[in-house]
Chains A and B, each alone.
Chain A
Amino acid sequence: DQQVKQNSPSLSVQEGRISILNCDYTNSMFDYFLWYKKYPAEGPTFLISISSIKDKNEDGRFTVFLNKSAKHLSLHIVPSQPGDSAVYFCAATGGTSYGKLTFGQGTILTVHP
């Protein structure tokens, strides 16, 4: 099941710089997208979401951009902090299945001091 793909398994950035995490999807029924963050030995924690009626949503240091024509979304973290180091999952839902999130494989973000 490759409906949601995160093609970069890992990303390394310097503290204070911008982190950009990417996600692609194939299912046209998806109309709501979410980013989750996960630390080892913890469950995923919700970060930010975006509806398909928008192309940008911002919450503090986190901004999600949605390009519907390209079926692509990205998460920008600026400035990046060492505490942001975690696995980031993109997830999508929609159609008649709002209870079901389809996750990407995750991207390991490491922010170096």
Chain B
Amino acid sequence: EPEVTQTPSHQVTQMGQEVILRCVPISNHLYFYWYRQILGQKVEFLVSFYNNEISEKSEIFDDQFSVERPDGSNFTLKIRSTKLEDSAMYFCASSLLAGGNSGELFFGEGSRLTVL
């Protein structure tokens, strides 16, 4: 069964450092997303991406965050200067149709980011 893969599974970084989280969405999917879950809190939407541009972003997704689809397969989330409060599990997801309408976003297993 096709799946969304994410790397790294766990990254530890120092505050102020740049981090890039990588995702390989399902190959025929057109919509891509990043969500995050801070320990003990809800899964929160960060950003959606379609046709090589951001279609929607949350208030969390400030200028420190950026997303890119550098080639036909990868989808990356960059945090330019990490803060302690960026520590969370980051989930990449993809969908064939606009998420929700199709009923199904496929999520990766997550990348745990720890900022010290």
Q: For chain B, which range describes its interface: under 10, 10 to 19, 20 to 34, or 35 or more residues?
A: 20 to 34
Q: For chain A, which range describes its interface: under 10, 10 to 19, 20 to 34, or 35 or more residues?
A: 20 to 34
Picked from A94, A101, A106, the residue with its CB within 8 Å of the CB of B105 is A101
Q: A44-B43, A97-B56, A102-B45 are in contact. Are A32 and B104 (CB under 8 A)?
A: no
Instruction: Give Cα distance in the complex from A46 to B93, angstroms.
Output: 11
Decide if A46 touches B100 in the complex (CB within 8 Å): no
Instruction: Give Cα distance in the complex from A59 to B44, angstroms.
Output: 27
- Chain A residues with Cβ under 8 A from B75's Cβ? none
CB closest chain-B residue, reference A45: B107
- Chain B residues with Cβ under 8 A from A42's Cβ? 109-110
Q: Is A43 an interface residue when CB atoms closer than 8 A count as contact?
A: yes
Can you list 29 A-B pairs, Cβ within 8 angstroms, ordered by A? A1-B42, A32-B100, A32-B101, A32-B103, A34-B100, A34-B103, A42-B109, A42-B110, A43-B91, A43-B107, A44-B43, A44-B91, A46-B105, A49-B103, A89-B43, A93-B99, A94-B100, A98-B98, A98-B99, A98-B100, A99-B55, A100-B48, A100-B56, A100-B99, A101-B43, A103-B42, A103-B44, A105-B41, A105-B42
